[in-house]
Amino acid sequence: MPTYKYPRPSVTVDIVVFGYDGGAQLKLLLIKRGSEPYKGSWALPGGFVDMDETLETAALRELEEETGVKDLYVEQLYTYGAPDRDPRGRVISVAYFSLVNLQDHPAVAASDATKAEWFPTNELPDLAFDHADIIAAATKRLAAKVRYQPIGFELLPEEFTLGQLQHLYETVLNVEAFNKRNFRTRILRTGILEEVGRQKNVAHRPAVLYRFNETAYKKLAEERDGAVLRRALDFEI
Amino acid sequence: MPTYKYPRPSVTVDIVVFGYDGGAQLKLLLIKRGSEPYKGSWALPGGFVDMDETLETAALRELEEETGVKDLYVEQLYTYGAPDRDPRGRVISVAYFSLVNLQDHPAVAASDATKAEWFPTNELPDLAFDHADIIAAATKRLAAKVRYQPIGFELLPEEFTLGQLQHLYETVLNVEAFNKRNFRTRILRTGILEEVGRQKNVAHRPAVLYRFNETAYKKLAEERDGAVLRRALDFEI
DNA sequence: ACAAAAGTGTTATGCATACACCCATGG
DNA sequence: CCATGGGTGTATGCATAACACTTTTGT
């Protein structure tokens, strides 16, 4: 039993994983808590950070232990440290954020007693701790991220149609259909998509299938970094 | 002496404060460490989080204790948790980020034995811990932030000229002068500036003085949020 | 009169937006 | 032959970017 000169908080990680399956809503991965506090409530996957692992490692480990979902890209979201956010005492939680497509990450095997489930983002249950706040922050981050990064990289399967991509954007931004012509023009103009074939056996004109070209994307990102220097402020907000 | 069932990390905060005084370089507030580890090295202001204060409160408290600088807006930057980042053991640090103008925050009174000093960002000394990484991340955040928020709010004095504002942008983005005509047109078109008078006693045509109009800014921000919904993706990166 | 910085007029270019239309496939 | 979603042509207006120019002050 370790003893310290001064009291110390506990440190946890929580992970917000958004999943997409082509439907009308994004989904969110939650677990049912098997122990107190908030036993029986739904919560974000997560848990205590071990002393010899990085925060990101802890996030990925807890996620796999609790939901079976693994092999994904995560980015740090925000750290929550209100003194009263956990009834067990001072617990500071580093929240992580991830995007996956549900085809590649369907597994929701609960390794211990807890259940794990994908919930449509518009039908979330009551959540333990301040996890509703964390999810709200993640949703905001996603809406911001979509503006400057092609989130389809993570949320869509390897090959997809422009219709699917547009549908994803409409879902994430929560809007009715925006103009098809302009969406296509803009996204194709960037050059980050490459054709890989055509749909088969669909009851309409078969769509061209595309794949993200990561090389082209990185090149575009570099050019844009240079352009910022000339264009400077946008004050888009 | 508190005893826990499992070992716990220590949690600290570090604060990156950028200051501007109209010069060619932004400045950064550092302290000279008065105790081990890294005694005598320069480092970011910061310290251990108390058990009953929020993270932001801890950041503001430590900043004032170590540098005398207070009354500023801070935002959370990133949390650093590599197991070996501190020789004292496992120390997880939540980094904060702030912008101030040096006229209003000149105070660099060292309340305890440590010294505090503003360093030009291109002449930084060697830094303790992973603080160089933290500063690099803060610099990146600033360059990104400048694109969608009017950072002049924090970095410039209450009243300023368009020349000063442009100079600030050139400094932050680290570029040679960009086109004056277009800078003026774009920024005035947003409507977030209001005239408040004219310069006096300058050896050239006196410039109009402006002040940020926070109401107009908020209105602009809202309109922009709406516009995102229609315009959708920009893929600017 | 001159230096120094503020401030303006004007143009081409390209992008965003809107609207109307045609195409290919399975049932 | 029709429902369904895929895909294209094009006119309009507006913001960006570039360049050359005028104005006002103190010394």
Could you check: is the Cβ of residue B180 within 7 Å of any atom of nucleic acid strand D? Answer: yes
CATH of residue B46's domain is 3.90.79.10
Last residue of a domain, one of B147, B171, B198: B147
Could you check: is the Cβ of residue A179 within 7 Å of any atom of nucleic acid strand C? Answer: yes
Q: Please check whether residue A97 lies inside any domain of the structure.
A: yes
Last residue of a domain, one of B147, B181, B213: B147
Kindly state whether residues B207 and B142 are assigned to the same domain.
no
Last residue of a domain, one of A147, A176, A202: A147
Per-residue pLDDT reduced to its tens digit, B26-41? 999 999 998 889 999 9
> Whole-angstrom Cα distance, residue A117 to residue A217?
33
In this complex, the residue with its CA at the shortest distance from the C1' of nucleotide C24 is: A205
Q: Which of A105, A85, A101 is nearest to A12 (CA)?
A: A85
Kindly state whether residues A192 and A125 are assigned to the same domain.
no
The reported pLDDT for the residue numbered A233 is 47
Q: Quick check: helix, strand or coil at residue A98?
A: strand
Nearest CB neighbour to A3, from listed B1, B76, B143: B1
> Whole-angstrom Cα distance, residue B102 to residue B192?
23
Kindly state whether residues A55 and A128 are assigned to the same domain.
yes
pLDDT(B228) > 70: no
Identify the residue whose tokens are 């890209």. A73
Kindly state whether residues A163 and A143 are assigned to the same domain.
no
Per-residue pLDDT reduced to its tens digit, B166-225? 999 888 888 877 889 999 998 998 889 999 999 998 999 999 999 999 888 888 877 766
The reported pLDDT for the residue numbered B236 is 36
Kindly state whether residues B177 and B99 are assigned to the same domain.
no
Kindly state whether residues A123 and A210 are assigned to the same domain.
no
Could you check: is the Cβ of residue A108 within 7 Å of any atom of nucleic acid strand D? Answer: no
Kindly state whether residues A127 and A172 are assigned to the same domain.
no
Q: Sign of the CA dihedral A21, A41, A10, A65?
A: negative
Q: Confidence band (pLDDT; 50, 70, 90) for B114?
A: confident
Kindly state whether residues A36 and A136 are assigned to the same domain.
yes
> Whole-angstrom Cα distance, residue A89 to residue A105?
34
Decide if A9 and B4 are in contact by the 8 Å CB cutoff: no
Q: Please check whether residue A140 lies inside any domain of the structure.
A: yes
CA angle A35–A41–A46, rounded 5-degree value: 65
Q: Quick check: helix, strand or coil at residue B100?
A: strand
Decide if B235 and A4 are in contact by the 8 Å CB cutoff: no
Q: Please check whether residue B193 lies inside any domain of the structure.
A: yes
Average pLDDT value over all residues in chain A: 89
Q: Please check whether residue B123 lies inside any domain of the structure.
A: yes
Nearest CB neighbour to B232, from listed A90, A169, A229: A169
Per-residue pLDDT reduced to its tens digit, B41-66? 999 999 999 999 999 999 999 999 99
Residue A210's domain spans which residues?
Answer: 159-231
% of chain A exceeding 70 in pLDDT: 92
- Which residue stretches of B149-197 are H helix? 152-155, 162-173, 180-190
- Are the C-beta atoms of residues B44 and B131 closer than 8 Å to each other? yes
- The amino acid sitting at B135 is I
> Strands B42-43, B27-32: parallel, antiparallel or unpaired by DSSP?
antiparallel
Across the range A44-59, mean pLDDT stands at 97
> Strands B10-20, B91-101: parallel, antiparallel or unpaired by DSSP?
parallel
Q: Please check whether residue B101 lies inside any domain of the structure.
A: yes
Q: How far is CA A200 from the centre of its chain?
A: 30
Kindly state whether residues A171 and A138 are assigned to the same domain.
no
Kindly state whether residues A106 and A19 are assigned to the same domain.
yes
Per-residue pLDDT reduced to its tens digit, A131-162? 999 999 999 999 888 877 888 888 999 999 99
Q: Which of A227, A224, A166 is nearest to A193 (CA)?
A: A166
Identify all chain B residues contacting A82, using CB atoms and an 8 Å cutoff: 54
- Are the C-beta atoms of residues A95 and A15 closer than 8 Å to each other? yes
